[in-house]
Amino acid sequence: MITIIIFNNNGKNIPMNKQVAPYSPTYKPLAYAVLLGLAAASPAMAEEKQQNAEAGETLIVTGTNTAMKIDTPAAETPRSVSEVTLEDIKDRGAKKIDEALRYSAGIQTGQYGADNRTDWLIIRGFEWAPYQNGLSTIYNEAGFYSWHQETYGIERLDALKGPASMLYGQNPPGGLVNVITKHPTRLKQGEIDVSYGSNDYRHFGLDTSGPLNEEGNVLYRFVGFAKKDNGPVDGASNERYYFAPSISVDFNDKTSLTVLTSYMKDNSNPTSGFKLPYGTLHGTPFGKVDKDTSFGEPDYSKGDSEQFNISYELSHMFNDTWTFKQNASYSYLNLLLRNVYGSYMLDDRNVQRGLTYRDGSAQNYAIDNRLVGNWTIDNFENTLLLGTDYTTINSRGKDGNVYGFGSPLDIFNPVYGNYTPVSDDELFSHRTKRFQTGVYVQNQLKFDDKWILLLGGRYDKARSSDIISNAGVNSGATEGRIDMDDHKYTKSAGLMYLADNGLNPYISYSESFQPLSGRDGYGSPYKPQTGQQTEVGVKYVPEGFNGYFNAALFEMYQKNILTTSNDPKINYAQVQTGMARSRGLELEGVGHVTDSLQIHANYTLNRVETIRSGDSDEIGNRLPLTPLHMASLWANYSFNGKLEGLTIGSGVRYIGSTYGDKTNDKDLKVPAYTLWDAMVRYDINKEWQVQVNASNLTDTNYVSGCNYWCYYGEGRTVTAKINYHW
């Protein structure tokens, strides 16, 4: 079953058994497109627009709006977006965001190994940004203050690949992953979900939704979830509680409001998968280090967090042409992190350890206002988007980076407990404030039902301040304040042709920018890092076939990368002269081969290399952790006849070899690996269902990646669950 989300005119989503694909932007004469769009919006011309359905009638739109912030079929968007539905998440037994995206083209997951809390992924060779319901979240503040997502509370994932600053402001060039959380539904429904599995994993989930009154204009949803597991290494554990009540009100046929809240608390002992090449990638006289061995301190390591979010989605239709939409969100995160890891080898058995310490909080406020106009004149269909957004993130706390913590640890026979807790002399206080205000315009013009032209432009103002104070004598920190004030214009464009045979070729261009805090070796403030991507592709939706095929060629650049200077006058300090390039090919196919067999297949060829650096040995070599080849295949088969109700699924994932440094040192080359996953599900009746999932079915022992450290991938895990739904 290939599933999309269907949106009605009040924004309530209902899963339906239909298919479509994702979408995107491009660059051409922006002023011309906007002027044409505004001129066509006059009341006289608007009369020629096709009339909407009667008030209150459900408007069905097959597609997502992450890539363009307007409802457009995925097959008609000149950008690559990978969509992961709720059914995909359930079929693959995904417990984290990166696990849900394992079978998506162009996305590498788990490069930092097994981790029972944090999501690790790379999009087209570069960093990514997390979003929730179209708004930015707390991510990587002070290195570790990041918002976590619970997959049981997710309705869908949209991964927009490549620069996305024209619509979303400051972002890394890899793109973004937009998490669509569970919303209230018009259909009365619910489920109870219970699981047990490897590493003593167990969870209990409750999800119930439906109307609150007879008129059906007030809807609710409540999602509750609790889990506990022991993690993939000795001493690791995680206990989580998650609650997400929400309510939606249709005031009339033109105005609706949805309020979403969530609370999540994690009590954990971090996985601490930071091991060294010695004993993992390289052999030793004593063999390899066991993948279950922790270099941490079970009685001291801690990763406790508490997070709360409240947000709303407001929609008001002024008339048949203009609609106003506003999303706003407030998030709060409290964190206590004490992560002990291996720092460097002292001899052939003992490792010196380090400690990362964070004790503080972060809060984020974001609001996005959009005015959307739709009209038709003769053979021209126009959609104009006018928007403005504002984001602020504040964080403060006590931090520490201790590079010599506790007694050395024998990596082949570890004995824990020989340490002294961190002291104030090793800590410092940090306080950061970040602000961003953006104004953007986008126009989509469709003419003769054959051509789609998409143009967009944006202006951003970004400010930040970073303050270091109360630095302990052994903290290694320097007290002071750094203020940054940046502004940036970004643009995007796209052109697509809709052929009669379902083949839709396209070309697109997009940009990104990401401010940096600090100064280079000459004392000049860092400039924002920038990204540019050109993409050429084709989307194919065969008539009569329940599925789609996508192919894309892309070239992406990231500029103003920090690199080591070759100037002795500044003691070879860092400067912003680095540049990296990502070139690649993505092939993806999703569909029903028969009524019983569904397949999701993809292949990625992606070379990500340094093309400018202060170190000549890096130029022309691949970036760490980025494979040249990736491929995956997932298939579901549903039986009929006497075995009706039985579904089996299996998947295979191939990740090519990677390097552990920018010079591509052969001693840090990580071998390719192939992993198998499997699923068996049986629908006992309409209400009861049992399912078993296995990840890394053959229990392959592998290193998932190296930089300075090396990381073991997760071993075999098996999880069984029983589900009752109504």
Taking only the tens place, the pLDDT of each residue in 607-663 is 999 999 988 999 999 999 999 999 999 999 999 999 999 999 999 999 999 999 999
The answer on pLDDT for 325 being more than 80 is yes
CA atoms of 471 and 486, how far apart (whole Å): 28
pTM: 0.89
64 — pLDDT class (breaks 50, 70, 90): low
Q: Which residues contact 368 (CB under 8 A, 6 or more apart)?
A: 134, 135, 326, 327, 328, 387, 388, 389
Strands 669-670 and 673-683: unpaired
Percent of the chain with pLDDT over 70: 91
Average pLDDT over residues 511-522: 88
The answer on pLDDT for 22 being more than 60 is no
Nearest to 608 by CA among 254, 214, 124, 162: 124
| Cβ atoms of residues 452 and 444 within 8 Å | yes
Q: What is the pLDDT of residue 40?
A: 36
Scored b (16 or more CB within 10 A) or e, 141-179 reads bbebbbbbbbbbbbbbbbbbbbbbbbbbbbbbbbbbbbb
CA atoms of 283 and 260, how far apart (whole Å): 51
The answer on pLDDT for 605 being more than 70 is yes
CA atoms of 515 and 460, how far apart (whole Å): 11
Task: Read off the pLDDT of residues 647-703 as tens digits, 9 standing for 90 and up.
Answer: 999 999 999 999 999 999 999 999 999 999 999 999 999 999 999 999 999 999 999
| Side-chain half-sphere CA neighbours of 611 within 13 A | 12
Strands 107-109 and 81-85: unpaired
The answer on pLDDT for 565 being more than 90 is no
Percent of the chain with pLDDT over 90: 81
Q: What is the pLDDT of residue 176?
A: 96
CA atoms of 59 and 62, how far apart (whole Å): 10
Nearest to 75 by CA among 39, 133, 113, 22: 22
Q: What is the pLDDT of residue 5?
A: 34
144 — pLDDT class (breaks 50, 70, 90): confident
Count the neighbouring beta carbons within 10 Å of the beta carbon of residue 641. 5
The answer on pLDDT for 66 being more than 60 is yes
What is the Cα 106 distance to its own chain's centre? 13
The answer on pLDDT for 21 being more than 60 is no
Burial degree of 81 (CB within 10 A; 0-12, 13-18, 19+): buried
For residue 97, give the H/E element and its range.
Answer: helix 97-100
Looking up tokens 């006018």 gives: 386
The CA angle 247-248-250, to the nearest 5 degrees, is 155
| Cβ atoms of residues 636 and 597 within 8 Å | yes
| Cβ atoms of residues 178 and 135 within 8 Å | no
Mean pLDDT for all residues in the chain: 89
Average pLDDT over residues 391-419: 95
The better pLDDT of the pair 519, 302 is held by: 302
What is the Cα 61 distance to its own chain's centre? 24
Looking up tokens 């400690």 gives: 355
Phi, psi of 666 (to 5 degrees): -60, -25
CA atoms of 513 and 515, how far apart (whole Å): 7
End-to-end CA distance of the chain: 20
Average pLDDT over residues 241-245: 98
Nearest to 530 by CA among 487, 564, 477, 567: 487
Query: At 570, is the secondary structure helix, strand, or coil?
Result: helix
Q: What is the pLDDT of residue 235?
A: 87
The answer on pLDDT for 78 being more than 60 is yes
Q: What is the pLDDT of residue 63?
A: 52
| Cβ atoms of residues 99 and 18 within 8 Å | no
| Cβ atoms of residues 369 and 389 within 8 Å | yes
What is the Cα 424 distance to its own chain's centre? 36
The answer on pLDDT for 127 being more than 90 is yes
Q: What is the pLDDT of residue 270?
A: 84
Query: At 569, is the secondary structure helix, strand, or coil?
Result: helix
Torsion of CA 330, 333, 334, 338, to 10 degrees: -170
CA atoms of 114 and 97, how far apart (whole Å): 13
Q: What is the pLDDT of residue 105?
A: 97
Average pLDDT over residues 136-159: 90
CA atoms of 84 and 128, how far apart (whole Å): 17
For CA atoms 544, 551, 71, 83, give the dihedral sign.
Answer: positive
- Domain spans of the chain, in order of start: 4-725
Nearest to 275 by CA among 128, 142, 414: 414
- Specify the fold of 4-725: Maltoporin; Chain A (2.40.170)
Phi, psi of 436 (to 5 degrees): -145, 130
DSSP string for residues in 32-63 = HHHHHHHHHTSHHHHTTSPPPPSTTPPPPEES
CA atoms of 256 and 315, how far apart (whole Å): 5
The better pLDDT of the pair 543, 8 is held by: 543
CA atoms of 283 and 301, how far apart (whole Å): 28
The answer on pLDDT for 308 being more than 90 is yes
Tokens of 65: 């709006």
| Cβ atoms of residues 606 and 627 within 8 Å | yes
258 — pLDDT class (breaks 50, 70, 90): very high
The answer on pLDDT for 326 being more than 90 is yes
The answer on pLDDT for 158 being more than 50 is yes
CA atoms of 88 and 157, how far apart (whole Å): 10
